[in-house]
Amino acid sequence: MLQVKGLSKKFSNILAVDNISFEVGNGEIAVLLGPNGAGKSTTIKSIAGLLRFDGQIIVDDMPNKSVEAKKVFGYVPETAAVYDYLTVFEHIEFIARAYRLDDDWREKAEHLLKRFDLADKADKLGKELSKGMQQKLSICCALIISPKMIMLDEPMMGLDPKAIKELKKTFTELKNQGCAVLISTHIIDSIEEVWDKVLIMNKGKVVLSTTREELEEKSESLEDVFFNHTEGAIVS
């Protein structure tokens, strides 16, 4: 579903992402794991088409910046992006119409809002929401399009325990539906139960790409592997 080939991204003189390549298949949950400043967000933003980059990014056999590719992927930014003067429901309606979704989106919207405890806040304006609620709304906006591939940049930040639980359940459901999921995080515990493939990033490079099966075979924990491969991130 997602193929990243030789992706590099430079900001002024800083090479934020250095020639990385990886793939995420249908029904696979991949995690970009790394310390702060490793290049995770830059990678996700490049895939979402928000940055210029060198290399090639293919989503569902189409270049990531093509209109056709954009139809099939969802993106949850690191900082929740909501419009101050749209209500919660209007956000979902806006996305549904802009993406030309079928009429059954309303039913799905109601389900999502209920699931993320936003149903009673459907008439609240974006600016009236707390940061956590804005994050939940951002997630709903990405999910309403029923994506074939979804990218989430630090999605658990600011969420309450119930929302985190629901989000993890959502990951599993998406996986079962054949959706490719790419999550960026630096908090290992938050993805411990759900990941299939991990891409450990450090200083702009993918320093390790492995699967859950491979780690289980070696009887290694994700935390140990992470600290072994991220120089300077070791804590006592």
Residues that bind other proteins (CB under 8 A): 12-13, 45, 48-52, 65, 67-71, 75, 77, 81, 83-86, 90, 93-95, 97-100, 125, 127, 141
Assess contact for 26 and 174: CB atoms under 8 A: no
Helix, strand, or coil (residue 57):
strand
CB closer to other proteins out of 5 and 127: 127
Q: Is 33 in contact with 54 (CB distance < 8 Å)?
A: no
Question: With respect to other proteins, which residue has the nearer C-beta, 63 or 178?
Answer: 63
In the bound state with other proteins, the residue whose beta carbon lies nearer, of 102 and 216, is: 102
Contact 157, 133 (CB under 8 A): no
Kindly report the three-state secondary structure assignment for every residue of 169-196.
Answer: HHHHHHHHCCCEEEEEECCHHHHCCCCC
Shortest distance in whole angstroms from residue 81 CB to other proteins:
4
CB of residue 76 to other proteins, shortest distance in Å: 10
CB of 101 to other proteins, least distance (A): 9
Our CB check for other proteins shows the closer of 16 and 207 to be 16
The Cα 17–Cα 89 span in angstroms is 37
Element (H, E) at 186: none
The pair phi, psi for residue 94, each rounded to 5°, is -60, -50
Q: Least distance (Å) from other proteins to the CB of residue 109?
A: 13
The distance of closest approach from Cβ of residue 52 to other proteins in the complex, given in angstroms and rounded to an integer, is 5
Which residue number, 12 or 36, has a Cβ lying nearer to other proteins? 12
